[in-house]
Amino acid sequence: MRTAPAEDGQPRSVTRKSEVTERITAVPGAQSNQALARGLHILRMLVDEGTPMTATEVGRRIGIHQSSASRILATLGEVGYVRKSDNGQFEPDYGVLALGSATTRLPLITRPREVFQEIVEENPYIGASMCMLFRDEMIYLLRARSGSDTLTFWSNGFPINISAPGLRLLLDLPEHDATAILQSSRQRFGWGGRPAVVPATEAEVLAKAQHLLHDEVLLLRDWHVDGETGGAIPIRTPEPHPVALALVDASGTYSDERLTLLLHQARRRVEQAFHPED
């Protein structure tokens, strides 16, 4: 896998080999504040699940007694993040939306927003997005397309094995960690893509992505939809988490060379929004 240079000029892995896999497989609340960690884990699980769950199901899923799960769910309900239906099942409540509203004020979203709008207006056949690899999943921070409002912050459960920005960022991780993230994505969101194009295993996907990587750019042609090309390049931001810029040509208008050039040009403009003094 690829490495990133340290300040002393020597190559180093972006993330230590054990950090990612330990996070993915860790028991919720095994460290620090157990109740808080488990409560947040349960809230996230309910959001991801998409359907209501009973306290018994929640407890079984994370390996705690039903009574402990019930107490945590009751607390989440008291603060407005979870609600209980008449049949005893739990689901996210509107308080979750209040948590997400603060993201619209993050510099990572506000500073490059105008640049994204300019890029898609200049290239009307292109969609642009900025994506962060946060722990073991992709978070999409901005998505712009000509003639449409720019979307801010969403995580739609898109399988990482067909995400150009996701795979591009995985190529900068140690192979063991990249494989663990792909396995976690498969368990949560399935294994997407066209079977005739997308390899069936994590190792094969990473190997093919590495082969398709040129000049810092990963281009995935026909992986998700026939005739569509997604491309991604890492960008430098003030955040500690890895971030990539992605462009999607759904019309087949752009050659690989043209899309690669556009990604490099767009990266310079987006990074300038974060670092105007450079």
Going by pLDDT thresholds of 50, 70 and 90, the confidence category of residue 107 is: confident
pLDDT of residue 9: 44
The residues that bridge with 214 in the sheet, in sequence order, are 217
**Single-letter residue type at 149:** D
Q: 278 pLDDT band (50/70/90 cuts)?
A: low
Chain-centre distance of CA 253, in angstroms? 27
> Rounded to the nearest 5°, which phi and psi values hold at 102?
-65, -25
Spatial distance between the Cα atoms of 248 and 240, rounded to a whole number of angstroms:
25
Residue 89 identity: Q
List the Cα angle 245/251/256 in 5-degree steps: 55
CATH topology of domain 4-98: Arc Repressor Mutant, subunit A (1.10.10)
Closest to 249 (Cα-Cα) out of 274, 266, 272 = 266
Q: How confident is the model at residue 115 (pLDDT cuts 50, 70, 90)?
A: very high
What is the pTM for the complete model shown?
0.77
Tell me how many degrees the CA angle 36-38-39 measures, rounded to the nearest 5. 65
> How far apart, in Å, are the Cα atoms of 252 and each of 177, 185, 227, 243, 255?
33, 28, 6, 25, 8
The per-residue pLDDT for range 61-87, each reduced to its tens digit, is 989 999 999 999 999 999 999 999 989
Question: pLDDT tens for residues 143-179?
Answer: 999 888 888 866 667 899 999 999 999 999 999 999 9
- Each domain of the chain, given as residue ranges in start order, spans 4-98, 106-274
Contacts of 175 (CB under 8 A, 6+ apart): 1, 206
* Secondary structure of residue 9 in the 3-state scheme: coil
- Chain-centre distance for alpha carbon 145: 19
What pLDDT, in 10s, does the model give residues 2-43?
Answer: 444 443 444 433 444 445 655 554 545 445 578 888 999 899
Dihedral through CA 151, CA 197, CA 170, CA 164, nearest 10?
-20
Burial of 50 (0-12, 13-18, 19+ CB in 10 A): exposed
Residue 166 buriedness (CB in 10 A; 0-12 / 13-18 / 19+): buried
DSSP letters for 168-207: HHHTTS-HHHHHHHHHHHHHHH---S-TTTS-SSHHHHHH
Q: Out of 1.20.1440.230, 3.30.450.40, 3.30.200.20, 3.40.50.150, select the CATH number for domain 106-274.
A: 3.30.450.40
Q: At what angle do helices 175-189 and 202-212 cross, to 10 degrees?
A: 120
- State the pLDDT at residue 44: 85
